[in-house]
Amino acid sequence: MSRRNSAARPRPKQPIEESVLRIIGGEWRSRKIPFPAVEGLRPTPDRVRETLFNWLQAYTPGSSCLDLFCGSGALGLEALSRGAQHVTFVDQAPEVVNQLKSNLQLLKAQNAEVIAASAMTWLEQRVTDEEARYDLVFLDPPFRKALIEKVAVLLESRNMLRDGAIIYVETEAEWVPQEIPLHWELLREKAAGQVVSRLYRRQPQTSEAPAH
């Protein structure tokens, strides 16, 4: 075979490598599900999820959840397993979205939807006062992109949070929460290595509260 023909021959498509996620508690406790091992995808570790859902045990059952930048879907799936009424997953990576849809079918989950979109673009396209409102939001964006404050503004300006909504924020250790809305009350905070987990409750407000 000539060198030219050899070079023109299409290369076989490489399969996407997979990793495994374990659901910690609830209906699907100890179930292991695959997720694509794509660069930058870092599911919340088991120990952190266990701590988080101990914090959330009074809030998860019956809640309407939003899992932004969902990646593997670890947080939203854990919420479904523990009795959440519905979860909306949002992520822009096609391989992540496809695998999450497959995993929901595998688990026979009927009360979830997967949105294939940039979380920021999706939020920007929401119509104020005409969207679903959420009781529980998981916010675990790519680190060091200054996304937390922008997302908080959009969630508030589109009126997508119910009074008393719980917002979980996972960030790099050096992040300083300077522009979180004043009416988001910090309930819990815990550092694990280079990651910090914070839990906020949205307090009712009679007028628009400024950020600080």
One digit per residue, the tens of pLDDT, for the chain of length 212 reads: 433 343 444 444 444 456 888 999 999 999 999 887 766 666 778 888 999 999 999 999 999 999 999 988 999 999 999 999 999 999 999 999 999 999 999 999 999 999 999 999 999 999 999 999 999 999 999 888 889 999 999 999 999 999 999 999 999 889 888 789 999 999 999 998 888 999 999 998 765 544 44
Q: Is residue 116 in a domain?
A: yes
How many whole angstroms separate alpha carbon 206 and alpha carbon 117? 33
Domain assignment of residue 46, yes or no: yes
Distance CA(187)–CA(100), nearest Å, equals 30
pLDDT at 122: 97
> Which structure tokens are listed for 10?
């299409």
How much is the pLDDT for 206?
A: 63
Q: Which two tokens mark 62?
A: 């019956």
Residue 171 to residues 34, 54, 117, 149, 175, Cα–Cα distance (Å): 24, 19, 21, 12, 6
Asked whether residue 209 is assigned to any structural domain, the reply reads no
Q: For position 69, which CATH number holds? A: 3.40.50.150
Say what the pLDDT of residue 100 is. Answer: 94
Residue-level pLDDT at 176: 84
Supply φ then ψ for residue 167, to 5 degrees.
-120, 120
Q: Is residue 9 part of a domain?
A: no
Examine residue 158 and state whether it is found in any structural domain, yes or no: yes
Does 133 reside within a domain? yes
pLDDT at 41: 65
Predicted local confidence at residue 144, as pLDDT: 86
Range of the domain at 22: 14-202
pLDDT given at position 16: 47
211 lies in a domain? Answer: no
Rounded Cα distance between 186 and 175, Å, is 15
The token pair that represents 137 in the structure block: 């939001």
Count of structural domains within the chain: 1
Give dist(CA 94, CA 155) in Å, integer: 24
- Asked if residue 65 belongs to a domain, the reply is yes
Residue 131's identity, in one-letter code, is: E
Q: DSSP string covering the chain, please?
A: --HHHHHHSPPPPPPPPEEEEE--SSTTTT-EEEEE--TT--PPPHHHHHHHHHHTTTTSTT-EEEEET-TT-HHHHHHHHTT-SEEEEEE--HHHHHHHHHHHHHTT--SEEEEES-HHHHHHTPPTTSS--EEEEEE-PPTTS--HHHHHHHHHHTT-EEEEEEEEEEEETT----SSBTTEEEEEEEEETTEEEEEEEE---SSPPPB-
Helix-helix angle 46-55:74-81, to 10 degrees: 50
Amino acid, res. 82 = R
pLDDT (0 to 100) of residue 193: 84
